[in-house]
Structures are given as structure tokens and as C-alpha cells.
Amino acid sequence: MTTIERGPASAAGAVAISFLGAAGEVTGSCFRVDCAQARFLVDCGMFQGGRDADEKNASALDFDAATLDFVVLTHAHIDHSGLLPRLTARGFRGPIYATPATADLAGVMLPDSAHIQEKESEWAREREHDRRSAPRRAQGERRAGHRAPPEPVADALPLYTLADAERCLRQFRPLAYDVETDPRPGIALRFRDAGHILGSAIAEIRIGDGGARRKLVFSGDIGQPGRPVLGDPTPVPDADVLVVESTYGDRLHKDLATTYDEFAGVLARTLPRGNVVIPAFAVGRTQEVLYVLADLVRLGRAPALTIFVDSPLATRATEITARYAPILDRESRDLAAWQARHRDRVRVVFTESPQDSMAINEIRSGAVIVAASGMCDAGRVKHHLRLNLPRPECAIVFTGFQAGGTLGRQIVDGAAHVRLFRQDVAVRASVHTIGGLSAHGDQAALLGWLAGFRRPPARVFVVHGERDTALGFGALIRERLHWPSVEIPTRGDRIPLA
Ligand SMILES: [Zn+2]
């Protein structure tokens, strides 16, 4: 057992929350709770996008990781789980509580993320090496007629390695929805279905006993009710302290019927002469796109389809999703049964090897190609864009948020040319954005979930939204629900709960 200086919050009954990420922004979810019974994290996510993300990831977790007793992980998305291997590398040895599906998804996503970290650090070292040796070499060649030896590069270390990720995965402790466990004496933890991605959870944490007992609720990411594949977010009746996300707290999504109409239109217009390329995040979005496509065929609104899923990570995630059929919604179980009887109508080809992937390049029309990454800044989708973007008879369909600075954002914003593999590629394909598949609940969905509380939480913290969105959503909670205390924390805030 570790003995820790827990600071002023260690007084009996006192609890403090530190907002280490996703405060005034959407990525880097990480909240530390200090109380007399324990010190723990809820989520340990990576910062993504934006110029300062690398720096924030490197400087995150600037406390003694060995003093943590446990971690609660709400879901597998990298902006919630991506720094867990770094936490392990920095000395954390305690259990990581997550639902069984989240643990399985993390089992493929964290090693994949480690691989990306290692590759990026390799590239950074090469670039740095070229930068340092190029002028010296020119000088050396002029003076002595030979190449100067390269200098070693000390920085650009990976955030973590594959070995760190594998060690971290051994710390996972699966906990099913609606089952209570005691991570430490005097602390009870229970997960509720958040309806966001497979395995996603709302965390209910009770601290203390008797009159001093307090209930903290962390929403994690809340899904959009009525979406395919997943259940709806579970209402939570009460909390003393609520930490709630606000990603889309300022807008309403188009409904699913519109999404179906738009998809059907693109398929009908494009497939006779061209291909449809769908950049999609491997976990969650790929499975929803597959659902919608199969459903359109079942409903007679699309012809028989051949769909290529060209992402090994998406293939793994789709296998895991199929294994968890019992926790998916009834519609997706019905559709899976229909598909099993009509394999000729919806042919899904999962490509594994680079050779299989390249074979798709020969196809000129009639193919639907689903590939990662969702924002087109990496992965096999870039090859499919290089071949299909210049062809006016093809279509590119975006189904998710495209962050500023990504290739996906340039295409959505109407660029006439983009750079791909150091080549200038003309954009002549039709470009579509279909918005009804968001994994995050919109404003109405978030307010709907909040309305499930039977009494106002004493303290509410709005997180996981751009600052203006979080501020606006906070104001809306005060106005519509009349809750007494709604705060929008900033990264680094440590807030004692009296
Ligand atoms: Zn998420």
C-alpha cells in the first residue's frame, strides 16, 4: 500500500477534483479525484489536433503516477484512453476499471496507438537528423570532400512503446454495466450504458459512508438516442457532483431519416459509373456505416452492394462488435440475422494485407470503400482518395467531424487541389457530408439526459467542449433546468468540493 501526501483534501469527507484535460476543449479527457480513501483518475486521454497537442501530451500526467490507487476508464476512444500506457510507463501499477467491451477495444487500440507513437518518433528523428546533418554535410563536403558524421538526436522519444501498452493492458479489470464494485474501502463504482460507442459508460462513484457519503457522476461521452447499433444513454436519477460533456452542446443533428435519404441518393447516382469512398474512424463509425448500408439494401433503397472495409483496426473492431451482439440494440441484431441470410445482397470484404488493399485500386466502379482514418490524415484511405478524388464519376462521403488542418477538412471546405503523397491531386469527385451518424448526443440529447436527474446535482462541471460551446451549454443548463451551480473549469483547475 502506498502512503501519500494527499494535501488539504485528505481531511475526512473532503474531496477535490483536478481537471487535467478536456476542460475548455474536447480532447485529453482526464480528471483526478483526491479524497481520504484514495487518489484516482477518471479517463487518461490523449490530446489530439491543434499545434500544441504534442506538447500537452508530453507534459500531461505531471504528478507521481505511482501514488494513484486506480483508474476508471469510461470508453476506448483515444482521447479518453490514449495516455494510459504512458501512465504505466511512469509507474502506475493499479487496476484500470472498464467495461468488458472497452477492455477488448483498448486491447487493439492501445497497441495501434503505441505503433503510431513509435513510427512518429522515428520520423521525427529522421527529419531532425536530416535537418542537422544537411548544412553540415554541405559544409563538410566543401571543406574536406566527405560527409560529416551525424549527431545523435536525444529528443523526439515516443510518448510510449508497444511494451508499455502491453503492460498497461494487463492492468485492466473488466466490470460489466450495472454491477457495483469497491476499488478501495469506502469507494463504490458502477458503470451505466452511455450509448456512445461499444462499451461506453457513464461512471457512478460513491465516496464515503453514512452522512458523509457523496455521489460523483462522470458522464463520459453521451450518445445520440435512437442511433443504430447502440443502446440509448441510461438516465441517472441523482448525483451530488456531475461532470458532463458538451461536445455538441450548441447544435442539433439532422435526423437518421435524412441520413438514409442522402446515402441512398449518393449510392444510386455514383455506383453505376464510379466508386464511393467513405473515410471513417475505425472504431464505432465504420460499424455504423456498415449498418446503414446493409439496412438500405434490406429496405430495397440500394442495389446489392460490395463493401470493402480497408482498415485492419476497423476489421478487429467489427469482430469485437459482433462478439458483443447481446449488448447491441434489437435493430442491429435483426439486421445481422437478415444479413446472414442474404450474403449475396451485401458482400462485405475485409482486407488484411497491403496486397489485398492494392487490389481494390483496380476497381473502377460499383465499389463502396470504407477506410480509416476518418479525417484522412493517415491510413489507407489516402490511397483511395488519390485514385478516386480526380474522377468526377466518384463520390467521397464524410460522416464525422473534420478538425481544422486535416486533409478531410480541406476537401470538405471545397479545395480544388490537395497534396497527397507529395503529389498535387485534383478534386473532381463529388463531396458529401452526411451528419446524422454523430457518436455524440446533440444539444437536445444532452438536455434530455440531464432531465433524467430527479434532483439538481449540488455542483455541475461542464467539460469536453470547445470553450464557447461549454460556456453556452452551461448557461443553457442554468436557464432550462434552474440548477444552482454550473461551472466551466479550465485545464489545471483543482476544485475542492466542500
Ligand atoms: Zn468518445
pLDDT computed for residue 138 by the predictor: 45
441 alpha carbon – ligand 1 mean position (Å):
11
Residues 459 and 384 in one domain: no
- 201 CA → ligand 1 middle, Å: 10
Examine residue 142 and state whether it is found in any structural domain, yes or no: no
Which three cell numbers, joined as nine digits, stand for 264?
Answer: 441512398
Per-residue pLDDT, 155: 58
CATH number at residue 19: 3.60.15.10
**469 CA from centroid of ligand 1 (Å):** 17
Centroid of ligand 1 to alpha carbon of 485 (angstroms): 26
480, part of any domain: yes
Q: Would you state the pLDDT for residue 139?
A: 45
| 295 C-alpha to ligand 1 centroid (Å) | 25
Does residue 63 sit in the same domain as residue 171? yes
Structural Rg of the chain based on CA atoms: 24
User: Could you list which residues have their CB under 5 Å from ion ligand 1?
Assistant: 77, 221
Q: Are residues 56 and 204 in the same domain?
A: yes
Residue 471 lies in a domain: yes
In a domain, 143, yes or no: no
Tell me, what's the pLDDT at 229?
A: 82
- Ligand 1 centroid vs 287 CA: distance in angstroms? 15
Same domain, yes or no: 245 and 274:
no
**pLDDT tens series, the chain, 498 aa:** 333 444 444 455 689 999 999 999 888 999 999 999 999 999 999 998 766 888 999 999 999 999 999 999 999 999 999 999 999 999 999 999 999 999 999 999 999 999 988 988 888 788 777 777 765 544 444 443 444 444 444 457 899 999 999 999 999 999 999 999 999 999 999 999 999 999 999 999 999 987 789 999 999 999 999 887 888 999 999 999 999 999 999 988 888 899 999 999 999 999 999 999 999 988 888 999 999 999 999 999 999 999 999 999 999 999 999 899 877 888 888 888 898 899 899 999 999 888 999 999 999 999 999 998 888 877 899 999 999 999 999 999 999 877 767 899 899 999 999 999 889 999 999 999 997 887 889 999 999 999 999 999 999 999 999 899 999 999 999 999 999 999 999 999 999 997
What confidence score (pLDDT) does residue 11 get? 53
| One domain, residues 215 and 260 | no
* Co-location of 312 and 366 in the same domain: yes
Distance 79 CA to ligand 1 centre (A): 7
Tell me the whole-structure pTM to 2 decimals.
0.85
Kindly give the distance from the C-alpha atom of residue 324 to the centroid of ligand 1, in angstroms, as a whole number. Answer: 18
In the reported structure, the alpha carbon of residue 80 is separated from the centroid of ligand 1 by a whole-number distance in angstroms of: 7
CATH number at residue 294: 3.40.50.10890
Query: Domain range holding 281?
Result: 256-433
Q: Assess whether 194 and 294 both reside in one domain.
A: no
- Centre of ligand 1 to C-alpha 439, Å, is 7
Rounded to the nearest whole angstrom, what is the distance from the C-alpha of residue 27 to the centroid of ligand 1? 9
Give yes or no for a contact between 259 and 224, defined as CB atoms under 8 angstroms apart.
Answer: no
Predicted local distance difference test score (pLDDT) of residue 144:
39
pLDDT of res. 430: 97
Cα 198 to averaged position of ligand 1 atoms, centre (Å): 10
The answer to whether residues 261 and 188 belong to one domain is: no
pLDDT of residue 81: 97
pLDDT at 333: 86
Distance 329 CA to ligand 1 centre (A): 19
The total number of structural domains in the chain stands at 2
Both 410 and 423 in a single domain?
Answer: yes
Distance 47 CA to ligand 1 centre (A): 13
Q: How many angstroms does the Cα of residue 273 sit away from the middle of ligand 1? A: 36
Question: How many Å separate Cα 237 from the centre of its chain?
Answer: 27
Which of 410, 433, 456 is the last residue before a domain boundary?
433
What is the longest distance spanned by two Cα atoms in the chain? Answer: 82
- Is residue 150 one of the residues assigned to a domain? no
Last residue of a domain, one of 433, 451, 478: 433
In the block, which residue shows the cell 518518433? 121
- pLDDT for 128 equals 78
Q: 317 alpha carbon to ligand 1 midpoint, in Å?
A: 15
